[in-house]
Amino acid sequence: MVSPVTVRSWAQKGVLVAKVMPGGHRRFLKSDVENFVRDSGATYVEAKPSISRILIVDNDPLMMTYVYDILNGSGLGFVLATAQNGFEAGAKMYVGAQLCASLKEMESTVQIIRSHHERWNGSGYPDGLKGEAIPLLARTFQIVDIFDVLTSPRPYKPTLDFTAAIDVIKQEIAEQWLDPQLGRIFLELLATRPQDFAVISAIDSAA
């Protein structure tokens, strides 16, 4: 599954041509995506992936049905759910958080599950939390997750080096998506202890 951060980065760099819709989300021509997959040498994974549950979010019912039919007919046994907007998607995430909340040992995990799509400027979901109202664990996970996705090898995207990944993190901070203080701390750690992050990336690549 491609991270939204990765897709947005591709669009901003012109790697993928996107049309920005009134709601702020992006649309990509199927032909452009197919050309990108071919040119980047990406291949389909025949083995069943570790992801078994997929939430499809799109405000266009026809597009959502199209994606649903493709995944449902893949034969990979995905459990699919759909939502037409971020608020509906957030409601589905809320159910997952509630299930985990019943397990005492997962109390801290619940904060991440429920709130890692919140944004520092309040534009995220499911609760529209803003600033420090977003749990610290969720704010921290956002930054680490973005960096991991950008710098780890994936069959569907090129791996960014640390410099390019840092630029993306800085842009996320500038757009007020990420906690600016945590973002600066993360970037300082990356600048002063790059060897630690290199080891983590190597472990992730070997996993």
The rounded distance, in Å, linking the Cα atoms of 51 and 115 is 20
- CB contact at 8 A, 116 and 142: yes
pLDDT beyond 50 at 101: yes
Mean pLDDT on 133-149: 90
Percent of the chain residues topping a pLDDT of 90: 16
204 and 152 Cβ atoms separated by less than 8 Å = yes
Say if residue 25's pLDDT is above 60. Answer: yes
Closest CA relative to residue 182, chosen from 150, 130, 139, 146: 139
Identify the structural domains of the chain with CATH numbers, from first to last. Answer: 115-207 (1.10.3210.10)
pLDDT the model gives residue 134: 95
Task: Report if pTM > 0.85.
Answer: no
Over the stretch 73-91, which tens digit does the pLDDT of each residue have? 776 666 666 665 555 555 5
pLDDT tens for residues 122-134?
988 778 899 999 9
Question: At 45, is the pLDDT very low, low, confident or very high (cuts 50, 70, 90)?
Answer: very low
Does residue 93 register a pLDDT over 80? no
Cβ-contact 117, 83 below 8 angstroms: no
- Residue 173: which pLDDT band, with cuts at 50, 70 and 90? very high
- Higher pLDDT among residues 165 and 23, named by residue: 165
At 52 the pLDDT is 59
